[in-house]
């Protein structure tokens, strides 16, 4: 079994390379025969008997084993062993010789020989060689392992001390055991100074509890590692931000050995993030301010909210807008945080001087306040300029960061926008007042127009219509009591009577167009129905729906809606090319109808005629003539004066839709003459 195993190993390793240090060729042959007998079928050998020959053989190739005689004429085994080891070879060195004293054998073994075998008992030669090879291989493996360990330690030592991040070993009690150069740079302590401290002593107080909580979890095995951002207090007192990753090394027994901490300096990143946040906050502030300044809020509310934006984004403690009065003095208009600013600061000579300088030179002025605990240390005055003239001052008070160039630039930009917004608000206010006055004037004109129509209608009714009716009655009486004797006379009388009757009818139509008496006497619904009946008699096809109920509407609303219907039908008659119309007039709740809530009067007039292109600005008002544009504008103005909406939708060949919606308080508004402006209508007398 030993032979077969040795043969298998011999085949795996290849031939056994043997260097024979022997002066006897016969003894060399005996050694080779013993090797083959022991299972080494393939043996590469060389025999040398002088130091020079051995030197050359060792230089040519490596040998697996060296077998040497002890005594030779020019050479001895100890010399051969020294020569072998001197060349750096650790191959097994086996002495095979005759009788040698025990002292020499022990000496050779101490010098590094693997074994000593007597020539008359070489049966254990192969086992000795095999054992020597195995021991050599084990020794070489140990040496390789040791070398690798040394190399690994060297690499670790190089990595540890030359790493770009801080690395430390910390005891379970918190003491620094080993630190690299980078960590010393980060925390601003030498190794000796760190070794004399614990990690809690240099940890920022606000971060210490969170650190200790994680360490306790790691010690009990709840977590294996943790990573967090924290702060250290450097040796010079400065604060440094780090990204800390901690793991725990344990003894084979499981007991904690030391913590391994990897510490990356992220102070610059934190500063960049803070700067980015500030920039983002300021961009958001500019956006909010832009939206605010373009809003329809009152200038006072805009100013207050703008000051709040300034205080939030720039860290201000107080912000004040003061306007210059005619006397030249400044008056506080709007402020935030003014109650936190003492009068000693607000009216300090430096502040007054800065205000006067800003008003005079129209440029920003930065100043410092007397140091006070928890109070502002810096102030900034900025001019509120309108039409290149300072009309006031914006005062900002806060910490030293207020003096930063970017903060000053942001405040200057916001102040400039605020001044423009205030001026625009003033101009818009004036424009709104003028529009209001113009609307009131238009309303008065429409009222005057209706009053004039009513007056003319009553004049026509009381004079022309009454005279014509009386003349018609007299002609009928004359014809009855004094009938003409001739046919020609009867025809003349009939023609005169017809003309008078026609005059009465036209007078009544004029009265109805100028001011239908039914509108004053019976309300909007009745007036519309009478007007539509007249048109139906002329051949119109009109579908009319009315859900107004019995309650009267305000007189101005009834008049406006009736005129819109009248004008819309007038346009249909002139331009639609058809006399088919659908009209709807109804009350509609705005949301759930309840007492005190609002409803609207909803009017639609739909015709099925030619239609027109509404998108064209020229025809949006009306399709044909200047007079028609006035009519469409009049409808829109009447509805607008009541706070309503007026819309027109039309397409060529698809007809036209007019929609008017006027808000109305829910509930009764009274009825009859109580809602009519002007004197009540009298009977027609005819």
* Topology adopted by domain 517-675: Heat Shock Protein 90 (3.30.565)
Is 451's pLDDT higher than 70? no
**β pairing state of 115-118 and 166-170:** unpaired
Q: Is 88 exposed, middle or buried (0-12, 13-18, 19+ CB in 10 A)?
A: exposed
Is 429's pLDDT higher than 60? yes
How many residues comprise the chain? 686
Other CB atoms within 10 A of residue 194 CB: 23
- Spell out the residues 6+ positions from residue 175 whose beta carbon is closer than 8 angstroms to its own: 195, 197, 198, 199
What are the tens digits of pLDDT across the range 172-190? 999 999 999 899 999 999 9
Compute the chain's Rg from CA coordinates.
58
Question: In angstroms, rounded to a whole number, what is the distance separating the alpha carbons of residues 96 and 105?
Answer: 11
Is 675's pLDDT higher than 50? no
Query: Domain 163-265: what homologous superfamily?
Result: PAS domain (3.30.450.20)
Tell me, what DSSP letter sits at residue 256? E
The pLDDT assigned to 513 comes to 62
The pLDDT assigned to 6 comes to 52
Tell me, what DSSP letter sits at residue 395? E
Percent of the chain with pLDDT over 70: 81
What are the tens digits of pLDDT across the range 265-317? 999 998 888 878 877 777 777 777 777 667 666 777 777 888 888 887 777 88
- Spell out the residues 6+ positions from residue 672 whose beta carbon is closer than 8 angstroms to its own: 552
The pLDDT assigned to 389 comes to 80
The pLDDT assigned to 277 comes to 80
What are the tens digits of pLDDT across the range 356-389? 888 888 888 888 887 666 667 888 999 988 877 8
Is 631's pLDDT higher than 90? no
- Name beta bridge partners: 53: none
**β pairing state of 318-324 and 598-607:** unpaired
Is 606's pLDDT higher than 90? yes
Is 338's pLDDT higher than 90? no
At 511, is the pLDDT very low, low, confident or very high (cuts 50, 70, 90)? low
Number of H-type helices and E-type strands within the chain: 22, 20
The pLDDT assigned to 596 comes to 52
Residue 517 exposure: Cα atoms within 13 Å on the Cβ side: 15
> In terms of C-beta distances under 8 Å and separation of at least 24 residues, what long-range contacts does 221-228 make, across chains too?
224/248
Most confidently modeled range among 418-422, 442-446, 606-610, 673-677 = 606-610
Which string of DSSP letters, residue by residue, matches 614-654? TTSHHHHH-SS-HHHHHHHHHHHHHHHHTT-EEEEEE-TTS
C-alpha triplet 107, 109, 115: angle, nearest 5°? 140
What are the tens digits of pLDDT across the range 120-146? 778 888 888 888 888 888 888 888 888
More confident residue, 640 or 288: 640
Q: Where in the chain is the domain with CATH 3.30.450.40?
A: 279-433
Residue 323 phi/psi, 5° resolution?
-105, 145
At 230, is the pLDDT very low, low, confident or very high (cuts 50, 70, 90)? very high
CA dist list (Å): 635 to 226, 376, 520, 529, 568: 77, 62, 20, 20, 8
Query: Domain 279-433: what homologous superfamily?
Result: GAF domain (3.30.450.40)
Mean pLDDT value across residues 626-651? 77
More confident residue, 442 or 242: 242
Q: Where in the chain is the domain with CATH 3.30.450.20?
A: 163-265
Is 684's pLDDT higher than 50? no
This prediction has a pTM of 0.41
**β pairing state of 390-398 and 365-368:** unpaired
* CA-based nearest residue to 506, from 475, 462, 465: 465
pLDDT averaged over every residue in the chain: 80
Is 554's pLDDT higher than 80? yes
The pLDDT assigned to 681 comes to 37
Question: In angstroms, rounded to a whole number, what is the distance separating the alpha carbons of residues 77 and 516?
Answer: 150
Angle between helices 267-293 and 299-314 (to 10 degrees): 180
Is 670's pLDDT higher than 50? no
The pLDDT assigned to 667 comes to 41
Which CATH code is given to the segment(s) 2-145? 3.40.50.2300
Residue 512 phi/psi, 5° resolution?
-65, -40
Between the two ends of the chain, the Cα-to-Cα distance in Å is 152
Question: In angstroms, rounded to a whole number, what is the distance separating the alpha carbons of residues 421 and 291?
Answer: 11
Question: In angstroms, rounded to a whole number, what is the distance separating the alpha carbons of residues 300 and 285?
Answer: 19
Is 209's pLDDT higher than 50? yes
Q: Where in the chain is the domain with CATH 3.30.565.10?
A: 517-675
Most confidently modeled range among 271-285, 546-560, 654-668 = 546-560
At 262, is the pLDDT very low, low, confident or very high (cuts 50, 70, 90)? very high
The region of weakest confidence among 330-334, 371-375, 616-620 is 616-620
At 425, is the pLDDT very low, low, confident or very high (cuts 50, 70, 90)? low
Mean pLDDT value across residues 148-177? 82
Residue 125 exposure: Cα atoms within 13 Å on the Cβ side: 26
At 522, is the pLDDT very low, low, confident or very high (cuts 50, 70, 90)? confident
The pLDDT assigned to 619 comes to 42
Mean pLDDT value across residues 421-436? 71
Is 672's pLDDT higher than 60? no
Question: In angstroms, rounded to a whole number, what is the distance separating the alpha carbons of residues 380 and 649?
Answer: 57
3-state helix, strand, coil split of the chain in percent (to 5) is 55, 20, 25
* CA-based nearest residue to 392, from 362, 351, 413: 362
Contact 132, 65 (CB under 8 A): yes
Which string of DSSP letters, residue by residue, matches 408-449? HHHHHHHHHHHHHHHHHHHHHHHHHHHHHHHHHHHHHHHHHH
Question: In angstroms, rounded to a whole number, what is the distance separating the alpha carbons of residues 309 and 328?
Answer: 28
The pLDDT assigned to 508 comes to 63
- Spell out the residues 6+ positions from residue 283 whose beta carbon is closer than 8 angstroms to its own: none
Question: In angstroms, rounded to a whole number, what is the distance separating the alpha carbons of residues 575 and 311?
Answer: 63
The pLDDT assigned to 679 comes to 36
Residue 380 exposure: Cα atoms within 13 Å on the Cβ side: 27
Question: In angstroms, rounded to a whole number, what is the distance separating the alpha carbons of residues 3 and 127?
Answer: 9
Tell me, what DSSP letter sits at residue 584? E
Is 453's pLDDT higher than 70? no
Question: In angstroms, rounded to a whole number, what is the distance separating the alpha carbons of residues 489 and 506?
Answer: 26
Question: In angstroms, rounded to a whole number, what is the distance separating the alpha carbons of residues 22 and 74?
Answer: 11
Question: In angstroms, rounded to a whole number, what is the distance separating the alpha carbons of residues 11 and 302?
Answer: 98
The pLDDT assigned to 469 comes to 72
């Amino acid at each position: 079994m030993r032979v077969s195993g040795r043969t298998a190993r011999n085949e795996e390793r290849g031939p056994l390379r043997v260097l024979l240090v022997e002066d006897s060729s016969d003894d060399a042959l005996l050694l080779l025969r013993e090797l083959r007998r022991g299972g080494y079928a393939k043996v590469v050998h060389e025999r040398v008997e002088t130091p020079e020959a051995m030197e050359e053989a060792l230089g040519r190739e490596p040998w697996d084993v060296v077998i040497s005689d002890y005594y030779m004429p020019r050479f001895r085994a100890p010399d051969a062993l020294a020569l072998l080891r001197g060349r750096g070879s650790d191959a097994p060195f086996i002495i095979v010789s005759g009788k040698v004293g025990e002292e020499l054998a022990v000496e050779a073994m101490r010098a590094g020989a693997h074994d000593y075998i007597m020539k008359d008992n070489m049966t254990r030669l192969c086992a000795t060689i095999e054992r020597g090879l195995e021991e050599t291989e084990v020794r070489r493996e140990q040496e390789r392992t040791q070398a690798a360990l040394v190399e690994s330690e060297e690499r670790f030592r190089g990595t540890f001390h030359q790493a770009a991040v801080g690395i430390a070993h910390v005891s379970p009690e918190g003491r620094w055991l080993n630190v690299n150069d980078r960590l010393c740079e980060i925390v601003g302590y030498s190794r000796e100074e760190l070794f004399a401290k614990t990690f809690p002593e240099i940890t920022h107080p606000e971060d210490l509890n969170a650190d200790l909580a994680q360490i306790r979890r790691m010690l009990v095995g709840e977590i294996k590692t943790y990573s967090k951002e924290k702060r250290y207090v450097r040796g010079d007192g400065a604060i440094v931000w780090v990204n800390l990753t901690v793991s725990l090394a344990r003894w084979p027994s499981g007991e904690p050995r030391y913590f391994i901490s990897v510490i990356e300096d992220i102070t610059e990143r934190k500063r960049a993030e803070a700067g980015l946040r500030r920039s983002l906050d300021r961009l958001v502030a500019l956006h909010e301010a832009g939206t605010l300044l373009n809003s329809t809020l009152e200038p006072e509310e805009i100013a207050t909210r703008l000051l709040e934006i300034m205080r939030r984004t720039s860290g201000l403690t107080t912000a004040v807008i003061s306007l210059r009065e005619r006397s030249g003095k400044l008056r506080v208009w709007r402020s935030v945080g003014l109650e936190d600013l003492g009068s000693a600061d607000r009216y300090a000579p430096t502040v007054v001087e800065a205000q006067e300088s800003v008003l005079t030179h129209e440029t920003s002025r930065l100043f410092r306040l007397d140091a006070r605990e928890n109070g502002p240390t810096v102030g900034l005055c900025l001019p509120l300029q309108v039409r290149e003239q300072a009309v006031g001052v914006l005062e900002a008070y806060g910490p030293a960061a207020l003096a930063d160039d970017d903060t000053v630039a942001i405040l200057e930009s916001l102040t400039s926008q605020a001044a423009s917004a205030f001026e625009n608000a003033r101009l818009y206010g004036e424009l709104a007042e003028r529009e209001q006055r113009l609307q009131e004037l238009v309303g008065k004109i429409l009222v005057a127009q209706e009053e004039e129509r009513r007056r003319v209608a009553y004049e026509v009714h009381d004079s022309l219509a009454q005279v014509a009716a009386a003349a018609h009655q007299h002609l009928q009486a004359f014809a009855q009591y004094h009938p003409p004797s001739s046919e020609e006379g009867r025809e003349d009388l009939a023609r005169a009577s017809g003309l008078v009757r026609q005059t009465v009818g036209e007078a009544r139509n004029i009265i109805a167009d100028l001011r239908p008496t039914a509108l004053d006497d019976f309300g909007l619904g009745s007036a519309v129905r009478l007007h539509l009946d007249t048109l139906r008699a002329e051949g119109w096809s009109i579908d009319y729906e009315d859900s107004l109920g019995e309650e009267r509407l305000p007189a101005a609303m009834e008049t406006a809606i009736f005129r819109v219907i009248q004008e819309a039908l007038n346009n249909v008659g002139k331009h639609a090319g058809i006399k088919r119309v659908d009209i709807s007039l109804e009350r509609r709740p705005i949301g759930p109808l309840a007492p005190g809530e609002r409803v609207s009067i909803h009017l639609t007039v739909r015709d099925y005629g030619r239609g027109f292109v509404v998108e064209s600005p020229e025809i949006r008002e009306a399709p044909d003539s200047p007079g028609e544009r006035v009519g469409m504008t009049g409808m829109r103005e009447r509805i607008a004066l009541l706070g309503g909406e007026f819309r027109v939708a039309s397409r060529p060949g698809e007809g036209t839709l007019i929609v008017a919606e006027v808000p109305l308080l829910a509930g009764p508004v009274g009825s009859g003459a109580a809602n009519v402006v002007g004197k009540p209508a009298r009977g027609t007398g005819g």
